[in-house]
Structure formats: C-alpha cells, structure tokens
C-alpha cells in the first residue's frame, strides 16, 4: 500500500510573511486523517521557517535541490547535511528547470540522490520528456535513461526510499496537462523499470505526477493506478488550491 504524497514545489517564490500565511492556511485546512502525506518544498532560506511553523503539524518540509558534493569549497551550494540540519524529510532532485538551466546530467542527479539518502533525506527524483521528445516517440527512452542513472547507483533498500516524479516538461507551468491515461502509461512504464532492479522497491516507490496539476484535474489523475500523488508548482502557492488537491485524493 503506497501512501499518497502531495508535494508543493514553491520554486523561487515566497517571503517570510507570504510563507507564514500559506503555511498556516495549509495547517488550518488539512483534512483529518493520515491517508495523504503533505509536503512543501521551499527555497533554502525559508527551510528554518518551515521547520518552526510546521514542527507540530503533520506537514513535512523539504528542499528543491541539493549539492552533489558533501562539503567544502563550493560557493553557493547547500549540502545534504545542511538540509538534514534543517530537518528536511525530502529534497527534489533533477527538476526539469535544473536540468535545463543548470545543465544537470542524469549522473549528476543520481549523485545528488545518493548524498540525500546518505543524510536520511528522501530524494524526489524528477523525470520527464520535452514536447519534441514526446512527438518523436522518445518518451519512454528519455524517462528510462533518467531513472536508470539513479537505479544504477542505489541498493534495493535505498531505491525503496526514493520518490519518483513524472513531470512532462511540456506540461510544467503551461496549463497543459497530460491526460490521466497518458500519465498512467508512463507511470506504469517507470514502475516496470524499477521492478527490473527490485520488485519489492517497485511496489513501494511512489510515483508522483507533476505538470499543471490543479483542483480541476487532480481527482482524475490521482485515481489512476500508478499515480501515487502529485508534485505541484503554481497551485501550491495558494492554500485554497493546494488543500483542494489534497482533498481530491
Ligand atoms: C513543477 O514545477 O514541479 C510543476 C509541476 O509546476 P506546475 O504545477 O506549475 O506545472
């Protein structure tokens, strides 16, 4: 049984006062019960604030990136140990914006996942194809290579602690969403790739869908067999929309 995970990716948005309003709004409106795990991934300067505000709630917090080095002369980088100090439970690695704007390779993303796990932080590994890749029929090949780089460097036990997020690049921030069946097909394929390495891990790894998920489409997407939650960008900045997605589970 995989517990649904609804994760917000705030990207480079927020301020102390806006975060306070957003976080307290989420806490106040959370449905009763523990069927859904809720996570917010905040910019690094606000992780301590998340820890303070969310500490007594059931909402987890995490980061949006982590260095591929453990420590040292890497100006501007944030290490997995620092995220652990901020009590992050999760960290996003390999978001398409980082792959595109910071030229992150599959191997670099895999190294980030290794370092996160070494600090007991669960990596949310993002994979996804561009529109051009989808239209040329390369979707499975692209996401398989992105996932395989991570599979290759982890033990079966470590793999079971990973979260995968399928985020078609053409659906992120565009308002275009994959149809539930399109997403389900890729999720099932990703699970089959995990199962080649470990059936036990494949059964427990949560595969989130991300890409313009909003209250209006969340229910249909989350009803699919292999969609175990959502990674939400724009709609995670509004407590009303984020809570509506949680309620759709
Ligand atoms: C994201 O950035 O991870 C994302 C899914 O964004 P949006 O929901 O805005 O498409």
Q: Where are the domains of the chain?
A: 4-247
Q: State residue 176's pLDDT score.
A: 85
pLDDT of 143 over the 90 cut: yes
Mean pLDDT score, 94-110 = 98
What are the backbone angles phi and psi of residue 210, rounded to the nearest 5°?
A: -140, 140
**Overall fold of domain 4-247:** TIM Barrel (3.20.20)
User: Residue 237: is its pLDDT beyond 90?
Assistant: yes
Percentage, residues of the chain above pLDDT 90: 96
Tell me which residues are annotated as active site: 95, 167
Please provide the average confidence, as pLDDT, over all residues in the chain: 97
Q: Cα of 93 to ligand 1 centre, how many Å?
A: 14
**What pLDDT score was predicted for residue 70?**
98
Mean pLDDT of the region 212-219? 96
Please say if the pLDDT value at position 190 is more than 90: yes
* Pocket (CB within 6 angstroms of ligand 1): 9, 167, 172-173, 210-213, 231-235
Q: Are 126 and 95 in contact (CB under 8 A)?
A: yes
pLDDT at 191 over 90: yes
| Closest atom of ligand 1 to CA, residue 236 | 8
Q: What pLDDT does residue 177 have?
A: 86
Tell me the CA–centroid distance for residue 73 and ligand 1, in Å.
32
Closest Cα to atom 4 of ligand 1:
233
Q: What is the mean pLDDT of residues 11-32?
A: 97
Confidence of residue 164 (pLDDT cuts 50, 70, 90): very high
Ligand 1 atom closest to 167 (CA): 5
According to the model, what pLDDT value does residue 19 have?
A: 98
Ligand 1: distance of its center to the CA of 209 in Å? 10
Q: How confident is the model over 48-74, as pLDDT tens digits?
A: 999 999 999 999 999 999 999 999 999
- The kind and range of the H/E element at 231 are strand 229-232
Is pLDDT at 82 greater than 90 in this prediction?
yes
Mean pLDDT value across residues 205-215: 97
> How far, in Å, CA of 21 to CA of 164, rounded?
29
Spatial CA neighbour of 44 closest among 5, 85, 99: 85
Q: Is the pLDDT of residue 175 over 90?
A: no
CA nearest ligand 1 atom 3, residue: 233
Q: What was the pLDDT predicted at 78?
A: 98
CA of 214 to the centre of ligand 1 (A): 10
71 is written with which tokens?
A: 């420590």
Strand 36-41 with 4-9, pairing: parallel
Spatial contact of 145 and 106, defined as CB atoms under 8 Å apart: yes
Q: Which residue has the higher pLDDT, 241 or 173?
A: 241
Residue nearest to atom 1 of ligand 1 (CA): 233
Whole-angstrom distance, CA of residue 212 vs CA of residue 186: 17
Q: Reply yes or no on whether the pLDDT at 187 is more than 90.
A: yes
pLDDT of residue 239: 98
Residue 173 — very low, low, confident or very high, per pLDDT cuts 50/70/90?
Answer: confident
Place of tokens 């992780």: 47
| CA-proximal residue: ligand 1, atom 6 (nearest) | 233
Q: Quick one: pLDDT at residue 8?
A: 98
């Amino acid at each position: 049984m995989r517990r649904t995970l609804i994760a917000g990716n705030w990207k480079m948005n927020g301020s102390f006062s806006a975060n306070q309003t957003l976080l307290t709004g989420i806490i106040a409106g959370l449905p009763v019960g523990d069927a859904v795990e809720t996570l917010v991934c905040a910019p690094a300067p606000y992780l301590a604030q998340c820890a303070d505000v969310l500490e007594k709630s059931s909402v987890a917090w995490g980061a949006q990136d982590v260095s591929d080095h453990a420590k040292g002369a890497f100006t501007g980088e944030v290490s997995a140990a620092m995220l652990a100090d901020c009590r992050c439970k999760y960290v996003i690695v390999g978001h398409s914006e980082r792959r595109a704007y910071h030229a992150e390779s599959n191997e670099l993303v895999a190294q980030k996942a290794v370092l996160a796990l070494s600090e007991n932080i669960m990596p949310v590994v993002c994979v996804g194809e561009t529109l051009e890749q989808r239209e040329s029929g390369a979707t499975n090949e692209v996401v398989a290579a992105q996932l395989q780089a991570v599979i290759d460097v982890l033990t079966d036990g470590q793999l079971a602690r990973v979260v995968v997020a399928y985020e078609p690049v053409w659906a992120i921030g565009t308002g275009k969403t994959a149809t539930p069946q399109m997403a389900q097909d890729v999720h099932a394929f990703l699970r089959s790739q995990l199962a080649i390495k470990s059936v036990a891990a494949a059964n427990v790894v949560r595969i989130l869908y991300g890409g313009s998920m909003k209250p209006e489409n969340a229910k249909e997407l989350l009803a699919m067999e292999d969609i175990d939650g959502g990674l939400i960008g724009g709609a995670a900045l509004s407590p009303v929309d984020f809570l509506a997605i949680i309620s759709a589970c």
